[in-house]
Amino acid sequence: MMEHNPTHTIAPTPATDDGAAPPSNAVRSLVARAVREFGLIAPGDRVAVGISGGKDSLLLFSALRDLQRRQDLSFELTAVHLDQHQPGFARATFDHSLAALGIDCAIASEDTWSVVSSKLEPGQIPCALCSRMRRGVLNQWCQARGINKLALGHHLDDAIETFFLNLLYGRRLDPLKPATPSERTGVTTIRPLILVEEAKVVAWVAAHDVAVVPCPVCDSFPESRRRDLKQLITGFRALHPQVGASVRTALYG
């Protein structure tokens, strides 16, 4: 399968009848493979997709909806957005994207931002703490509704960056896991995009002119270890364009 180059112009793909932008064949295949090989979704599962408004979670919902329609795999699918009361969140763009993609999304409201901001040391980046709190709230939301799977939009590039973060700074070989169960809530976090390179996500956004909402907090911190690693991996791709496929095989087979 030819890799999509996000810098090239891509002809729009016709949307489905309900306005949803379908995933590419490459994304469809990789998501189905992840679900099958890692046992991410079983018949009868109730799956909630955490929708942030960013490109990854929007594609994830479209891909799982497509999987639900195409595969002989009966599962329930819903979308949930956690309103963290972050200053500057582009609510109008978020609502527009949901409507354009035909996503009916529940809203959970929890002021995690006030808690996160009160705990930060000067110069500390809030992303790790914010992510843990967000996942905890969403797990509880799922548990209260009998939902047993929480799907998040981590893709292959996230997995590669996490692997190098753990290797270089954590001194351990610990890749991002396709599934992470929670003993406390009984909800399993799944990552169906874990085999999908970010370039394919960018290509989907361009193909369907999807309006995405950046995190108003993360993007205000220009320096981070993860951002540095993105540059490192870009350098790897200059040496070996198929580095993503190589690391995907090394980490996940």
Q: Which domains does the chain have, with CATH numbers?
A: 25-252 (3.40.50.620)
CA dihedral sign, ordered 47, 101, 112, 133 = positive
In this predicted model, which residue has the larger pLDDT, 44 or 12?
44
Global confidence as pTM:
0.86
pLDDT at residue 33, as a whole number: 96
206 pLDDT above the threshold of 80: yes
Among the listed residues 195, 176, 210, 233, the one whose alpha carbon sits nearest the alpha carbon of residue 102: 210
Provide the percentage of residues in the chain whose pLDDT is more than 90: 59
Least Cα distance to 153 among 1, 27, 14 occurs for 27
Residues 30, 226 contacting (CB under 8 angstroms): no
- CB-count burial class (<10 Å; 0-12, 13-18, 19+) for 90: middle
- Arithmetic mean of pLDDT over the chain: 86
**pLDDT tens digits, 37-72:** 999 999 999 999 999 999 999 999 999 999 999 877
Per-residue DSSP letter, 88? T
